[in-house]
Amino acid sequence: MSKKHSVYPDAPKREKARKGTVWRIIKTIFRGYPVRASIALVCVIINAVVAATPSIYIQKIIAYVEQAINEKSGWEAVSKDIFITIGILAATYVAAVLSSFAFYRLIAVITQGTLKNLRCEMFAKMETYPLRFFDSNSDGDIMSHYTNDVDTLRELISECIPQIMISGIIVSTLIGVMLYLSLWLTLVVIASVVIMFFITRKVGGMSAKHFIRQRKTIGKAEGFVEEMMHGQKVIKVFCHEEAAKEDFDKINEELYKDTEKANSYGNVLAPVLNNVGNVLYVVLAFVSGIFLITHAQNVSLSGMVLDISVAVPFLNIAKQFAGNINRVSNQITAVVMGLAGADRIFELIDREPEQDSGYVRLVNAKFDDNGRLTETSEHTGIWAWKHPHSADSTVTYEQLKGDVRMFNVDFEYVEGKPVLHDISLYAKPGQKVAFVGATGAGKTTITNLLNRFYDIADGKIRYDGININKIRKSDLRRSLGIVLQDTNLFTGTVLDNIRYGKLDATDEECIAAAKLTGADEFIERLPEGYNTEITGGGASLSQGQRQLISIARAAVANPPVMILDEATSSIDTRTEAIVQRGMDALMKGRTVFVIAHRLSTVKNANVIIVLDHGRIIERGSHEELIALKGQYYSLYTGAFELE
């Protein structure tokens, strides 16, 4: 089981960025849906204001009733005012209903649209990241960004943020109403708010810490499950089921503890704050009663006397005030989870893309009547490097020949642990260069450097005399065909998978490539031939058949340079003979780099390079190395002894 370590920045380094996560979410929403989000915001404000104002109208109605009771002809005098006030109150509720309907229709579109945009942005950015990112992070953890993290953000956008905004506006409005009615009673409410704040800060902070841990542990668990699913055959073969279950139980236990602690703090917050609100109601009723009995002097913005028309609405306002504070506290768990998920999403988006300072382009070319190389939009089969010169603003064209040279190259995947030491080699156009050596000698690393999946630490690599750092990576890789030992087939038809090497290839070109590599023979026997659907990475095909499709994919690309990384290692001897004939035809006239454990497949190479611990220890033709009776001789004769 491989263990991958995340290359994400440490949590302390992200703390500053996390504080601005909410504003970034809001900016993301308004950037994608400026008009709809603005209308939704207006609807939120209307709902909040309407929710906060009934207490004012209730106070007026009670005051009118008191006036009617105290005056003999009061009912006639105040009945009109009462009905007008009730009418206004009803109209505000109708406005609230309409704005609520509009808001929930809009928020559904805004939420799903924002998540869609974020998923697209994540995927687009992910495609720009260097290979090191995927080597350093498990597939399951990366997938967790698109599933769990996005889902927590959905709840944050559709429910939490609107509820917090509504409650915030209501609370602000209610404070103004309370000051309008009575300063003394308002101070009692504010004292309770201070208590609620400290409780929320303490308990909510502990909950947040564990929810952030939970998001990371979920990614870890998903990465483990994904790895076990892919390696299920190996697990069965080596009877590793119990050990796998034990490893999963450890991760699952860690997830359980983080989730249990997070929810324990989150679930205790709401009841505590709710009881604080109940205590506040009792205290206010007691204080109001004392003020009424003692006829205490009232201080308010309205200048009203503290009587029953003020005390009763104030109690309702206080209940509503505490309820909104409680509603906000109930959202803390979802808010913390949403922010943790959003933070992971923005971590993925904010990573530095693969750097590419290259400016030399690969273009289609042709020779004009004067024999000069010129650029063309036609597919002529001739490729050229388009090299702009900043010194004199000129552009020169150099035909792509496939001359590859390495000069004193050093490389290390991890700083301080060299993998290649002082590698110098050359491959002339049309030559076949083979790399042999023990596992870990550095064979595949050399081909990774040619593709610039990784950049060298020291030395130079020149392609047709051009430093490959000056060639755009996409153009460099377009000129190199590669067949890997590990075959990746995608969901789609056989034809689609072959066409992956050249997206604009015709069906005839794909079939011709399959015939060239010998894949046509088994493809024709499939249920739907070239239109047979491939699913599950080609699980219904043998390893050799998958490899043949991969080789055909490289053939249809028709690159001038080929890299064959143990391309026939998974193919039986009979199939290998078929493939080898196709490979010979494919390699004709091309520069080819071959990595092979079967030394019989590299005998016809122009140059065989023997690597050991990242150093070149021997080089020469098959006959020269056999005559040398060194490392290659030992490998070759040992292979035949094993056979």
pTM of this structure: 0.69
Asked if the model's pLDDT at residue 12 lies above 60, the reply is no
Residue type, 67: Q
Residue with tokens 């794909």: 510
Residue 285 sits in the same domain as residue 309: yes
Residue 133 sits in the same domain as residue 204: yes
Residue 504 sits in the same domain as residue 458: yes
pLDDT digits over 92-104, tens only? 788 888 888 888 8
> Is 12 part of any domain?
no
Residue 248 sits in the same domain as residue 141: yes
Residue 475 sits in the same domain as residue 580: yes
Task: Give the DSSP letter of residue 506.
Answer: -
CATH of residue 346: 1.20.1560.10
- Residue 572 confidence class, pLDDT cut points 50, 70, 90: low
- β-strand partners of 482: 563
Question: For the chain, what is the domain count?
Answer: 3
- Residue 237 confidence class, pLDDT cut points 50, 70, 90: low
> Is 182 part of any domain?
yes
> Is 69 part of any domain?
no
Residue 133 sits in the same domain as residue 147: yes
Tell me which of 378-387, 397-406, 515-524, 579-588 is least confident: 579-588
> Is 68 part of any domain?
no
The number of beta carbons lying within 10 Å of the beta carbon of residue 381 is 9
Tell me which of 73-77, 420-424, 569-573 is least confident: 73-77
Judging by beta carbons within 10 Å of its beta carbon (0-12, 13-18, 19+), is residue 379 exposed, middle or buried? exposed
Pairing of the two strands 607-612 and 432-437? parallel
Residue type, 160: C
Tell me which of 15-29, 185-199, 370-384, 565-579 is least confident: 565-579
> Is 33 part of any domain?
no
Across 296-301, average pLDDT: 76
Q: Which two tokens stand for residue 244?
A: 């796998």
What pLDDT, on the 0 to 100 scale, is given for residue 570?
60
Asked if the model's pLDDT at residue 3 lies above 60, the reply is no
Residue 165 belongs to domain spanning: 108-350
Asked if the model's pLDDT at residue 613 lies above 70, the reply is yes
pLDDT top residue among 641 and 71: 71
Reduce the DSSP state of residue 598 to 3 states and report it.
coil
Pairing of the two strands 458-463 and 404-411? antiparallel
CA 121 to CA 146: how far, in whole Å? 11
Asked if the model's pLDDT at residue 372 lies above 90, the reply is no
pLDDT digits over 43-67, tens only? 888 887 777 676 666 666 666 666 6
CA 301 to CA 56: how far, in whole Å? 13
Q: Which two tokens stand for residue 642?
A: 């094993």
Asked if the model's pLDDT at residue 311 lies above 80, the reply is no
CATH of residue 519: 3.40.50.300
Asked if the model's pLDDT at residue 287 lies above 50, the reply is yes
Q: 199 phi and psi, to 5 degrees?
A: -65, -45
User: Which of 350, 372, 390 corresponds to the end of one domain?
Assistant: 350
> Is 118 part of any domain?
yes
Asked if the model's pLDDT at residue 139 lies above 90, the reply is no
pLDDT top residue among 257 and 408: 408
Residue with tokens 């007691």: 286
Distances (CA, A) of 250 to 225, 253, 262, 382, 503: 13, 5, 18, 58, 45
Residue 247 sits in the same domain as residue 228: yes
165-179, 295-309, 406-420, 596-610: which has the highest mean pLDDT?
406-420
Residue 460 sits in the same domain as residue 525: yes
Residue 224 sits in the same domain as residue 142: yes
Pairing of the two strands 561-565 and 480-483? parallel
The DSSP result for 389-457, as a single string, is ETTTTEEEEEE----EEEEEEEE-SBTTB-SEEEEEEEE-TT-EEEEEESTTSSHHHHHHHHTTSS--S
Mean pLDDT for all residues in the chain: 80
Residue 188 sits in the same domain as residue 172: yes
What pLDDT, on the 0 to 100 scale, is given for residue 66?
64
> Is 155 part of any domain?
yes
- Residue 519 confidence class, pLDDT cut points 50, 70, 90: confident
In 431-573, beta strands by DSSP E: 432-437, 458-463, 466-467, 480-483, 492-493, 533-534, 561-565
CA 274 to CA 581: how far, in whole Å? 79
> Is 55 part of any domain?
no
CA 14 to CA 18: how far, in whole Å? 6
User: Which of 350, 371, 387 corresponds to the end of one domain?
Assistant: 350
Residue 412 sits in the same domain as residue 330: no
Residue 411 sits in the same domain as residue 446: yes
